[in-house]
């Protein structure tokens, strides 16, 4: 996979406001927040989008969801948050390293835009 903004953040080539990190994943604040809390959770494994995930990514994908739950709870938003994955340009994906948007701190409308 080619280098992306997010692989550069993992490698500390560009700065980010990091919220959480372990061997599997990195969580940092979105530079253009759409809610009072807007974090991005990414796997360290370079995978460009959800549709590129393979059966052996099952553990990593489950790990990210459970980690998102923990990070939101630690931020005081364990009861009300939204997770979003934009898959492909038609769905609004602009950075091609899989990421989960984690949004909280305001009322969320439905349907999403």
Interacting residues with ligand AMP (CB under 6 A) = 5, 14, 16, 28, 30-32, 40, 86, 92-95
40 — phi, psi (to 5°)? Answer: -115, 130
CA angle 58, 5, 97 (to 5 degrees): 20
Minimum CB separation of residue 95 from ligand AMP in Å reads: 4
56 — phi, psi (to 5°)? Answer: -80, 0
The tokens describing 91, both together, are: 């769905």
Minimum CB separation of residue 66 from ligand AMP in Å reads: 21
Nearer to ligand AMP, 77 or 101 (CB): 101
The residues carrying an active-site annotation are: 99
């Amino acid at each position: 996979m080619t280098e992306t903004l997010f692989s550069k953040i993992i490698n500390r080539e560009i700065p980010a406001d990091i919220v959480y990190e372990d061997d599997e994943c990195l969580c940092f604040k979105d530079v253009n927040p759409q809610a009072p809390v807007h974090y991005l959770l990414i796997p360290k494994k370079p995978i460009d989008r959800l549709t590129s995930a393979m059966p052996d990514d099952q553990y990593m994908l489950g790990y990210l969801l459970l980690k998102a739950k923990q990070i939101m709870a630690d931020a005081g938003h364990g009861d009300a948050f939204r997770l979003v994955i934009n898959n492909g340009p038609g769905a609004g994906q602009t950075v091609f390293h899989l990421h989960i948007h984690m949004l909280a701190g305001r009322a969320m409308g439905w349907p999403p835009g």
